Chain A
Amino acid sequence: MVTAATEADDTPVFRIGMLGPSRVGKTSLVVSMLTDGERLLGGTPVVLRAADERTKRLLRLRRQELDGGLLARKFDSAVMPGSLDLTYFNLEMRAGQAAEGIRFSLLDFPGGWLSEQEGRSAEEVRNWDECQSFLAECNVLVVPVDATVLMEADQPQHWRSVPAVLETLAVQEMAELWAGNRNLAPEEPALVVLAPVKCESYFADNGGLRDDSQLLRERVLQVYDRVIELVRLNAPHAQIRYCPVDTLGCVELVKVHWQTDPDEPGTHRPTGTFAIRDRGRISIVGAEDILGAVCGLLAGARRRVTAGEADRHVGRARYAEQRGQELKRGFFRHVRNWMNGSIRANDLERAGQLAKAQELRNQAEQLARAVDMLADRKPSGRSKAL
């Protein structure tokens, strides 16, 4: 069955990895995507929720912090503090009337581990190894991109600093490793999402004053061109999507100040100051496109697996039917097998396999409908397949 780790009960667990440097907004994007999962997938037969109490509380802690930061009106650029440790979020997606949910696991980690390889402690080495193997084997790779860095670069020295600020080389290396692994399992679902975050000031569809969405897209494609190329080269079957996100939706960029990095004098680093719009009510846009793409991909993969399982049960039923004919061949054999119960046992086996096949086919149909509805639902208009 598809990639993914399996839990003790053999249920497949799809993996989603967040690939971005420190302070790019990975955790905020996770919160945006997951705390409103049910609302974001509204109008579809798909429901996404925390798979366990622990994940529910992990999300609640982060959402409280986000809400608290907005209420306190202390918002500058990010409300979520940086991560100290890796965090797994266990989620469950239910599609249609399917009896079983589709489980997936999402990993968030301190972005500094991605690029800073010198002077690591034993603990950091162990943790990064864990993250790296998760990222290499995940089905979905979400690459958050700080839109402010790309859109507010207006001097040559800013542009020269962009690869260092966004750690694009480290992202490329990891994306190449991921694509190489995906290529080893071309039958498994694979998706890369390029997700510019903090996009509130560059779209006019969510309270923003200007529409620079085309320019943002061009710049993302320009800077992440090599990532796209490496994925296409190494994993031709992987889908690539562009999904810009208003992580909060209620902020407006006021100013950006580029400073020289004292450790790397040739590098300039931007600091944005944001103001809160209106009443500071969170209005996430774009996260539903990522969720929709992920859910569609996973539901589609699960549908194929479920249909395959149904076919296997039909095959076993056919075998039972042939065996039944064998058991009934000849008068004496027929009498003997009837008397020792073999014929009845075989009939029950055949009926059981057919019933299981029917149940799985029903599930596969439900999943197929869910995939269709996710594909047909009204997108934000921002997302594009690349």
Chain B
Amino acid sequence: MSEEPTPAVAAGESPGRPEPVVRGYVMSRGYPRQADYRFLGAAPDPGWWTRHRSHTDVNYPTLLVEARGGRWRAYLSGIPSQRRDEVSTPIRFTLALEGATASGGADGVVRLVARWLDGHADGSGRAVLGERMDGLFPDDAEVVDLRRRHDVEAVGVVQDRMERLLTSLEAPGGPEPTEWADRSWIASAADGPGAAAFVERVRALLAGEQDGDALVLNLVEQAEEAPPVAAGESLAVLTATGGPDRPRALPAAIPGQSGDQGPKAPGRTTPASPVDVRRALPLVLAALLLVLLILWCATR
């Protein structure tokens, strides 16, 4: 949890193009079988979200936000499109975003997170996002084309549309974002206070007020299964299923303590036994007897 986000070097990025405040990436697929899921134009920093594989399955709705070292990055999967693939299953969008903390422009990302979370159980918020994305990427042929390209123009098209998405989003109704008293906590994504606290935590992370992670995970149901909290950082976890009704504190990390107890020593680790005096005594007596026997034989 302590790996620092690094600035993206997008494939095809033009050195002359100013670095956007929020860089956005879109993954989707096209209708043909062979046009499988792939980032359109450019891909973000290779697979930083795969570090969370043991706690979430990105094939199902997942939201990950990390902030540390003056940078933040976000990953949102499970946004449904109205487009369908060759075997008629709905296509999905996955979004990845990144930027510098406290650099402004993050309001749209906070609204994006709030919208994604809205009605988490029935996916209504994600459906709204899906409609917006379909509006921005209405043509399957264009998606198929963009997923093949890494040139400046393709990267620019995707970036412009992501900026349009972020500026067009309004905050969903519901509880006002409120900070939860605990620095690290876990709650159910279906829980109103938990979702509101999560949105507030994302705002604080993007504003650079704290370092840490805010994660919506689908393979975690209880506090004991949550990722460990890194020392000096915060962690907010929402569970897709199960989880406490109200935010529940996660144990803070103890500085210097590591779960790794060091490599196992090969073979036996039992220390060598001290000399067993009770066993040695008969041996000494036997040796003495032997010497006497030899002397006796020699002197006969």
Contacts and interface: CB of A to CB of B under 8 A. Distances in A.
Interface of A: 21-24, 53-54, 57-58, 61, 76-85, 87, 110-113, 115-116, 118-119, 121-124, 126-127, 165, 167, 261-263, 269, 271-273, 332, 335-336, 339-341
Contact of A112 (B38, B39, B90): B38
Interface stretch (B42-50, B105-113, B177-185, B206-214): B42-50
A87 B57 CA distance: 8
25 contacts: A21-B34, A23-B85, A23-B86, A23-B89, A24-B33, A58-B219, A76-B88, A80-B89, A82-B36, A82-B85, A84-B37, A84-B92, A85-B50, A85-B59, A87-B59, A110-B36, A110-B37, A119-B149, A123-B46, A126-B47, A165-B33, A271-B87, A271-B88, A335-B286, A336-B286
B144 A263 contact: yes
A59 to B, nearest CB: 11
Nearest to A77: B87
A166 to B, nearest CB: 9
A269 B33 contact: yes
A190 to B, nearest CB: 28
B238 interface: no
Contact of A61 (B149, B218, B290): B218
Contact of B89 (A78, A111, A116): A78
Contacts, number: 123
Given A76-B88, A116-B34, A269-B86, A339 B286 contact: yes
A167 B34 contact: yes
B34 A79 contact: no
Contact of B38 (A122, A124, A126, A335): A124
Interface in B268-300: 279, 282-283, 286, 290
Q: Which 3 A-B pairs have the closest CB atoms?
A: A112-B36, A76-B88, A121-B43
B143 interface: no
Given A77-B88, A81-B59, A85-B53, 10 more contacts: A23-B87, A58-B57, A61-B59, A81-B92, A84-B77, A85-B58, A119-B150, A127-B47, A165-B33, A263-B144
A84 B60 CA distance: 9
